[in-house]
Structures are given as structure tokens and as C-alpha cells.
Structure 1
Amino acid sequence: MSIQWFPGHMVAAQKKAAETMEFTDVVIEVLDARAPAASQNPMIKELGAARQRAHLKILNKSDLADPKVTDQWIHYFNNLPKTKAIAISCKKTNEPKKILTLCMALASHRGTPLKPLRMMIMGVPNVGKSTLMNALLNKRIAKVGDEPAITKQQQRHQINECMILIDTPGMMWPKIEHSHDGYLLAANNNIGKNAYEDEDVAIELGKILLKQYPALLKDRFSTDNIIVDSIKLLEFIASKKKFPLRNHGLDLEKAAIVLLNDYRQGKIGQISLEEPKTRFELKHT
């Protein structure tokens, strides 16, 4: 099954972003540290490249990601031209404050009252853009919630006389090229729930966890037996949580929701769903 999600309001958001890019010095792209490549919007890359804008990649929610893999991604992105990458967690008050200094370094010709530094925050839905913007402004100005596509319109904010910050709605792109990316985005709650089935996403997530983090799964769900199949994993969770159906079967849908929620909330542990190496392999399949 291929997961696709491109609500109508994002067409207008894309057009407006292209217009604003002309008057932007630094693009701040917020990514999910657990799946940095899958959460990159190729349209953002194209818009920035067309205007030759400096790019700051924020790997947010780094507290939920595998720190060793996050280090690999930071190294990977920092080797790209006109690009700087940093891993943060917006839950930690001091971490977002580093961002303004990095933006100044990327566009050192700006940042005065006559030529204020113009920054635009972009990214797919529900990666923490609004939380980040609130932290940068040091006040609650943007609505925050654990669901995709809360922000619908651009918002312009004057940080000080030398800095301007533009917040943009979360934007997807018309067609997700690799079906694997759709599952990673859904697992990280970057896509509207109407676009996928929880059980399908949990099965794909289970495959990754069983391969890369079996010890964390064993600790979280107290599995005594070795489970090598993601459907068997859901059956085990359903049995352990006592999720039976009326026909004496097991409610795998409820088990899927448990697995997804535990992963999203970091209850299983610090997990990364992709590495630069596996990403390179995906691009050549």
C-alpha cells in the first residue's frame, strides 16, 4: 500500500512559500531526528536551491532518536553545500537559542537594522515548527498540538530590529516517491490519520524495530520468546494487553495503536528509523 497525503490548503501554502523565498536569507528546515531524510520535503530543497539560499537543518525531537545515528546524519548534512545541521529537542529550553546564532553565521551579510536577517521556518507537518518558533520568540504565539497541519497560514514575526522570522504551514509534496517514506512519516505522525491504517503502519514499524532494536522491544513488552515477525509482535501485544475480539481472535488494530503510541512517546527507547547508509541504498532501489 502506498501512503499519500496532500491536502488542498498545501497548494496555496507552497505558492506563498515560493513568493516569500525571494525575500528570505536563511531557510530553517525542521526535520524529525528519527527519520531525517523521509521528513525532508523535496519542494523545500528545490525552492531554496532556485534562490541559492543558505539552509539550516534542525533535527528536532533528538531526545527520541538514537544519538549515534543522529551524529551520522549531522555529519552527512554538514557535508552538503551551504548547509548547516544541528540536533535539538524543543523540550529543552536553551537548545533552540543556538539557532539564531547559526543563522547569523550562514548569512553574515545580513543582521543589521538596515538589512535585517530574514529567516523562514519550513518543514512537513508535526515536526515541531510551532514549538520551535515559540521558543525563539520566547512566548506562545503559535498554536501547538500533537496532530499534523495545525498551522494553516504564514505568520511574520519581528524578533528584534535585526531579525525577522516567518513561520509557514507544514507542507507535504504531491507524491511520495518511495512507499517506505510514507510509512516512516505515518509512524512519526507527520501525516493525517485518514491517509493510512494504523495496523499497516505498525507492521512496517515492527519490522524495523525487530531488526534494529530487538532488545528495546523485549524490555518494553517483556517478551520471553524471540519474535522475528511484526504480525507476531502485534499478536503478542494484543494477547498481553488482553485485546480479544468477539470471535476469540486478537484485536491487532488496538495492538497497533499501542505500538505506535509507545514508539511516538519514546516509551520503547531512543530509536532512529533510518541511517544515511540505508537511505543511500533506498535511493538506488
Structure 2
Amino acid sequence: MSINWFPGHMAKTRREIKENLKLVDAVIEIRDARIVKSSANPEIDKICKDKPRIILLNKADLSEDDVTKQWIKTLSNNNVKVIQGNSLNGKGLRNIKPTLNELLKEKHERLKSKGLANITTRVMVVGIPNVGKSSFINKIAKGNRAKTGDKPGVTRSKQWVKTKIGIELMDTPGVLWPKFEDEQVGMNLAFTGAIKDEIINIEDLALELVKRLQKNYPDRLMKRYKLEDLSDDALENLNAISMKRGAVMSGGVIDYNRISNIILDEFRGGKLGSISLERP
């Protein structure tokens, strides 16, 4: 199975991010906790290496907690702090402010020594499509998405979102897009919905997901779909799930489109339990 989807050229993206970095104190990079590696734009580490950064492992309630903690330990260093949370319900997001303060402690102390009491931290939020960037901004800003006024050097296409916790977020929609050459990365993005289902044959995608789950999470698959056992053949397992869910047309023909949508929707909604598709 191949995924022929390579959106945009990275040259423009690199240029825009570099320009924006001059205007902010730190970067918040949002990734999907289920696919921590695949949901990272490969250019961010290179471009933001000298800028204090928070990596928010979003949708952490859908991933295995022990695996997420392994990722936090693996990715964290003096200049990068990693936290887990959920942008929809706000869980974990209260750690954003103190983590930024920790990263910017020396800078804030210098500003305070110069008599500046009220310090506003400017942050650029980055993330691949559908990883939860907009939800994060809305949650932190509590729905306040109005521009806070033009800043020096900021084009009118850039939007600053003001919050009540001393942080201004740079909202740059469409700046970051995933670029991948590894088919496995593409599959992971497709499983979680970062790539639109119209791009890929959904029946092939569901079959690949069943293949992955039967290998790494057989008990979850059996429990969710009330299967007594599993075959080594993913197609046979997909057929068995179809029978259990009544995804069968007249004449006993499997409705693969229907069962494929069911499986993908239930995986993305966390109904198969907490699942991590990637480990450090």
C-alpha cells in the first residue's frame, strides 16, 4: 500500500518559521501522543534548536500512559520541556504557563532587573494538520481569538491571540505541513485522521490498522469486537468483525466500506482503549 501525498514544499515553510521565530520568546509544538514521531514535522528540531520549546503531547488520554511518559523522558532536555494533555478538555494545559516560566527564567530575571514588572510572553504555536493546534489556542485563549494589534515586523496575515495568563500566541494557520517519505509515517498519520480519508482507500487503511492491532493489541481487538480468537490473516479478522457488527449486505457480502469506517472511527475515538502506535 502506498500513499502518494506530499503537500507543499518545505522551503517556504522553513523561511516563514525562521522569520516568525525572531518575534517570539518560545515555541509550543503540538504532537499526537499516539504517534509522537510521525506527528512531528522533521524540520522543527533543526529550525527551533536554539529557541526554548514546549512539546505538548496532545490527545494523551488516547495513548498508553507509560509509553507517553517514556516519550517525555526521551524528548526532554534543558531547552525542550515535554508535557502531556488534551486540548479539547484542557487537561494538562495548566502546566503550560509554569513550564514557559521555567524555560524563560533567566530572560525574565533580566527583564525584572531592568524594572519590567508585567512580562508578556510571546509564543508561536506549530503543529501538523488535525493535531489539535486550533483547539489548543482556543482553550488557552478561552475563545478570545481577536487580534491584539500589529506588532513591529509582523505582517497583517499573522494573528496574535491574547490570553489572560500573560501569554500571546502567534496563530499562523497553514504554516506547517507534514512531509514524509517513510510509508509508515504516512500510515500513522492516516490512522489518526491527520490525512483526509479521501486521499487513501479507506478499506485498505482499515485492513492495515487491523493488521497493526492484531500484532500489538490483540486483546483490545478481541474484546471490542467480541472475537473468540484471531487469525494470522488480517482480512479474515476484518471479515469476522464485519459479521459481528452486521456490516453485511444482501447475499452475505461484506460491506467493507461500512466496517472500515466503523473501525477507524472507533479507533480515533478511543473506543478500543488507550493505544500508542509508536514507542521511543
TM norm. shorter chain > 0.5: yes
Q: Which of 233, 246, 264 matches 1:242?
A: 246
2:74 is the counterpart of 1:76: yes
Q: Which amino acid aligns with 1:221?
A: Y
Aligned to 1:59: 57
C-alpha contact 1:210 1:217 (8 A) present in aligned 2: yes
2:197 is the counterpart of 1:166: no
Q: Which amino acid aligns with 1:97?
A: R
SS of residue in 2 equivalent to 1:268: coil
* Rg larger for: 2
- CA distance change for structure 1 residues 162 and 64 in 2, over 3 Å: closer, same or farther? closer
Aligned to 1:19: 19
CA RMSD of aligned residues (A): 2.6
2-structure distance, mates of 1:169, 1:180? 26
1-structure distance, mates of 2:186, 2:30? 18
**What CA deviation, in whole Å up to 9, does each residue of 1:134-189 have, x standing for no partner?**
111122639xxxxxxxxxx742113259532112325223x412100101001111
C-alpha contact 1:238 1:255 (8 A) present in aligned 2: yes
**What CA deviation, in whole Å up to 9, does each residue of 1:197-247 have, x standing for no partner?**
112222222122111111111111000122333222221122222223466
Q: Which of 208, 212, 226 matches 1:208?
A: 212
2-structure distance, mates of 1:177, 1:54? 28
After TM superposition, give the deviation of residue 41 of structure 1 in Å. Answer: 0.5
Q: Which amino acid aligns with 2:262?
A: V
1-structure distance, mates of 2:4, 2:160? 30
Unaligned runs of 5+ in 1: 143-152, 277-285
Unaligned runs of 5+ in 2: 147-156
C-alpha contact 2:214 2:230 (8 A) present in aligned 1: no
Q: Which amino acid aligns with 2:90?
A: T
C-alpha contact 1:113 1:162 (8 A) present in aligned 2: no
Q: Which amino acid aligns with 1:74?
A: I
C-alpha contact 1:57 1:83 (8 A) present in aligned 2: yes
After TM superposition, give the deviation of residue 55 of structure 1 in Å. Answer: 1.5
Q: Which amino acid aligns with 2:102?
A: A
- CA distance change for structure 1 residues 165 and 88 in 2, over 3 Å: closer, same or farther? same
- CA distance change for structure 1 residues 60 and 96 in 2, over 3 Å: closer, same or farther? same
Report the TM-score, using the length of structure 2 for normalisation. Answer: 0.84
2-structure distance, mates of 1:154, 1:181? 30
Aligned to 1:269: 273
C-alpha contact 1:125 1:169 (8 A) present in aligned 2: no
